[in-house]
Structures are given as structure tokens and as C-alpha cells.
Amino acid sequence: MDILIVDDTIENIKLLSEILDVHNISFSRSGEEALNLLQEESYDLILLDIMMPGIDGYETCERLRKLPLHTETPLIFLTAKSDNESILKAFKAGGQDYIVKPFNTLELQARVKNQLLYKQYQNEQQQKLLIEREKNQAKDLSLLQQTKMAQMGESFSMMAHQWKQPLSAIMAISNGLLTQIQLSQVNAKDLQKNLEDITQSVEHLTRTINEYKSFFKPKYSFEKITPDELIHKVLLLNQHTLKLNNIELTIHFSDKHLVFSTLVNEIIQVFLVIIQNSIDAYKQNNKLGKIEISFTNSAKDLYIDISDEAGGVNDSDLSKIFELNFTNKGQDGLGVGLYMSKIIIEEHLKGSITVSNIDQGSRFSIVLPLNTTDLKHLE
């Protein structure tokens, strides 16, 4: 393993290098030199003298503990100072062990071995945490895609319903024009109006399909958007479902043109999940009602509340509504939508999401930071 010896006496360095020759040995002749080296290099163990020119071992230890690579690196003080005050000061500075010169070779080897075994255990635990973190990220991305795939089937159905009216209009106008041509009754003014209506219908179809393509295309970079634009995108995807279920949607803005950065597709998914939950609750309770969305903001945060009057959430379910596989929809529920919503808001966007019961229904409250410069984009 990699050991750094910090000692101003070259004879001590040579002796320690011979005793510990089974390891990779590096050395520094002063505290300043060691700190410069430790800023760039990682080691499994540091052997540190106390009495050195320049900064002593105590200060060297205190300063290296502030370096990201060495907050937990095992460190043994190796010094001629044997009084209790010096030993206590060494441990307070951040040392793990203390050996007094002249040292016993077998004792030194044993203590070094113990610290290296501890470092090896640290490395193994960090590797396990890294693997577990990667597994969790893979699971979350898989669930995110699973949720989107579930929404895709429903969205294609919604899209088919949305397209019926403009397609029927195009068909009716086309048939009318064919009839007029056959009867030689084509009027230039009527022809222009009919062609404008067809163009308008085609533009609507194009906007709709582009919005669906954009939503289902993986996109993990932050984009600038306003609350008004965000709601427009949400409505293009689920406006027809709201109409089919006779749900009135009310939107309130404190500043509809506020520009903020977010993962647009992911925040749209959160809206779709919460709105669909409200629709399902209205259907379960055989109620007609409304969903109210409000946007307010402070200098640092954007606040989004999504409320309904669909009866609320059982008190016993409030604490577990964001848990994986939790659902109160029976076989119709996957139990991943709200779980993924919490992952998106809290982990991807470093915000918060909570749910509470209000007078006749429930309210989801989302807080998003307006400053996203410190957020890590998904890879």
C-alpha cells in the first residue's frame, strides 16, 4: 500500500523505508512540502514527525485533515516527544496512533499493519457504497423510464382523442372542397378560408406530436422556462383527459413570466403524475371537481401548489404515499409515480415535495430552488 513518511531527518526516512519495504514509500522533508504533495496525491497511511522546521507535525496534521483526499487517511505520529501532553495534543490534531522514538521494529510493523487494515476496510466500505449508489441511480432511471412507458400508453390514447377533432375538421373541409369543385362552385374567398382552417388544424397536430416527442425523448440537462410555458406544455399532454373527466383546471401565477431553469421533461412528469392521481381520486369517488395550480416565488425559491377537492388522502397513508410500490388504486396502480416524483424533486432538483389534506381534498406542495448553478446535471 502507499505510505507517506514526513520527517526532516533523512536517516529516519531511510530506516523506515527499509522496515516497511513491502509497501510503496514516498517521503517529504517538511510539513509544507507534505501538504503540497497531499493536495494532489492520496495515500493509505501517513507517518508524521512532530519536531520539524517550519510548521510542526501538529499543524501539518490539522491542515491535512481539511484536504478532501485526507479527511480520513490513517496517520501515525512518530516522534521523540513522550510526555502525556504531547501525546494528547497529537490525538486532538487528528492522529490515529502515536509511536515514540526510538521505536521497536516489530511494534512499528504491527501498528502500521493495523492502520493499513483499517484503511483497507475503509476502501472496501467506500467501494460498496459506490456500487450501491450506482445501483440506486440505475434503479431510479429504470423506474423513471418505467413510469414514462406507463404514461406513454395512456398518452397515445389521449393523443388519438385529441387528434379526432382536427382530423375530422380536415376531412370535412376537404370533402366540402371536393364537392364544390365537382359542382364548379369554388369561391376564392371560401377556398382561402378553408385552406387557412386546414393549416390551423395541421399546426395544432404538429405542435401536439412535437410535444409528445419532446416529452418522451430522454433529456437530462437544465433548460430555461417560465411557469406559463410549463403549464402550456403540461396541458398539451393531458388537456383532453381533463375534459373527458369533466375536471376544471384553474391556474394562478404571481409572475407567469418568471424565467427559471429546470429539468423540463421531468417536472412535466411530476405534474402529470399528480394531476392523474387527482383525476383517479375523482373517478373513485364518483365526483366532478376541479384542480387548482398556483405558482408563487421568493427571491430564492419557486413554490408550486397543486390542490383538488377529491376527498383527500387517508391519514394512515400520508406518511407512506411517496414510498416505492405504495398505491391505493389496487391492481390499477404501479406505485412508482409519486415515488419517482419525490426522486425528481428532491434528488435531481434539490427541492422538496410534500402532501397534506385540506378542507375537501389534498394539496401537493413543491419547492424548487431558482438558482440551479450548483445542481449536478444527470448523465
Whether 42 has a pLDDT exceeding 70, the answer reads yes
Whether 66 has a pLDDT exceeding 70, the answer reads yes
Q: Per-residue pLDDT averaged across 160-186, rounded?
A: 76
- Where do the domains of the chain lie, and which CATH numbers do they carry? 2-103 (3.40.50.2300), 136-216 (1.10.287.130), 219-379 (3.30.565.10)
- Give tens-digit pLDDT for 315-333: 888 888 888 766 665 444 4
Asked which of 104-113, 127-136, 161-170, 366-375 is least confident by mean pLDDT, the reply is: 161-170
226 against 193, higher pLDDT = 226
Whether 64 has a pLDDT exceeding 90, the answer reads yes
Cα 379 to Cα 368: distance, rounded to the nearest angstrom: 20
User: What pTM, to 2 d.p., does this model score?
Assistant: 0.49
Q: Per-residue pLDDT averaged across 147-153, rounded?
A: 59
Q: Between the CA of residue 285 and those of 48, 262, 310, 327, 378, what are the distances in Å?
A: 72, 35, 7, 16, 39
Cα 266 to Cα 344: distance, rounded to the nearest angstrom: 7
pLDDT at residue number 311: 87
131 against 98, higher pLDDT = 98
Q: How does the average pLDDT of the chain come out, rounded?
A: 83
pLDDT at residue number 312: 87
pLDDT at residue number 379: 36
In this structure, are residues 334 and 318 in contact, taking their beta carbons and an 8 Å threshold?
no
Cα 240 to Cα 160: distance, rounded to the nearest angstrom: 10
Cα 115 to Cα 138: distance, rounded to the nearest angstrom: 34
Give the pLDDT band of residue 139 (cuts 50, 70, 90): low
pLDDT at residue number 177: 83
pLDDT at residue number 372: 62
Give the pLDDT band of residue 152 (cuts 50, 70, 90): low
The type of residue at 97 is D
| Sheet of 247-253, strands arranged across | 247-253, 289-297, 301-308, 362-369, 352-357
Cα 297 to Cα 255: distance, rounded to the nearest angstrom: 8
Q: Per-residue pLDDT averaged across 99-124, rounded?
A: 88
Q: Is the dihedral of CA 214, 216, 217, 223 positive or negative?
A: positive
pLDDT at residue number 374: 47
Give the pLDDT band of residue 334 (cuts 50, 70, 90): very low
Whether 306 has a pLDDT exceeding 60, the answer reads yes
Cell numbers given for 141: 432511471
Query: 307: which strand partners?
Result: 292, 363
- Give tens-digit pLDDT for 218-253: 556 788 999 999 998 888 777 767 887 889 999 999
Say if residue 49 is exposed, middle or buried (CB neighbours under 10 Å; 0-12, 13-18, 19+). Answer: buried
pLDDT at residue number 175: 84
What are the backbone dihedrals phi and psi of residue 277, each rounded to the nearest 5 degrees, phi first? -60, -40
pLDDT at residue number 333: 44
Maximum distance among all alpha carbons in the chain? 116
Whether 5 has a pLDDT exceeding 80, the answer reads yes
